[in-house]
Amino acid sequence: MKSSTTIRKAKLSDIPALSKHRRLMFEEMWRLDERPVVLEEMSGMETAYIDYLKINLKNGQLSAWVVECDGQVIASGALSVLIWPPLPGNSSGKKALLHSLFVDEKHRRAGIARQIMQSMIAYCRLNNLRSVSLNASRAGQALYEALGFEAHPTIMKLRI
């Protein structure tokens, strides 16, 4: 029997899966970059992310999507609405940050990440979020480019 997948908006009861997926996403990125995984950093981030999800899923500043296969959450992605000062062409200042996209290794290369991304982009269009950004891992860069995302070299950061 072939397994079927369904995508849906995440609920508060999905928080354990969302936080687990975010941790697994970072662990995988760090391994690919040959960076040591520091368990204390992961644990602290996961605890803080759970708190972040509880607050922001309730208040609508965050929306997330999960993909289920045979009753198990196998993939997820999230979108946070950020408020910046008003800009030309964006007087609300609202911007979307797409983050925490993860697909279980056994279910990759089946279009699931694309399906989550398309759901998040459709949500942005429906909610007039005109600026959508993300931090791309090497593994996801080709998908993001295929969906129309472009790198912007004018972004500068200072880590303090």
Domain ranges of the chain: 5-146
- Integer Cα distance of 150 and 7 in angstroms: 26
Question: Taking 60 as the threshold, does the pLDDT of residue 2 lie above it?
Answer: no
Q: 31-53: per-residue pLDDT in tens?
A: 766 777 677 788 889 999 999 99
The CA distance from 54 to 48, in Å, is 10
* CB contact at 8 A, 104 and 74: yes
Of 107, 102, 97, the residue nearest 149 (C-alpha): 97
The answer on pLDDT for 3 being more than 90 is no
The predicted structure's pLDDT at residue 1: 39
**pLDDT score recorded for residue 32:** 62
Q: Measured over all CA atoms, what is the biggest interatomic distance in the chain, rounded to whole angstroms?
A: 53
CB 10 within 8 A of CB 18: yes
Rounded CA-CA distance 27/46 in Å is: 12
CATH number for 5-146 (one of 3.40.50.2300, 1.20.1530.20, 3.30.420.40, 3.40.630.30): it is 3.40.630.30
d(CA 88, CA 50): 35
pTM of the model: 0.90
Tokens, residue 57: 């899923």
How is 105-117 classified by DSSP, letter by letter? GGGTTSSHHHHHH
Pairwise CA distance, residues 140 & 150, whole Å: 13
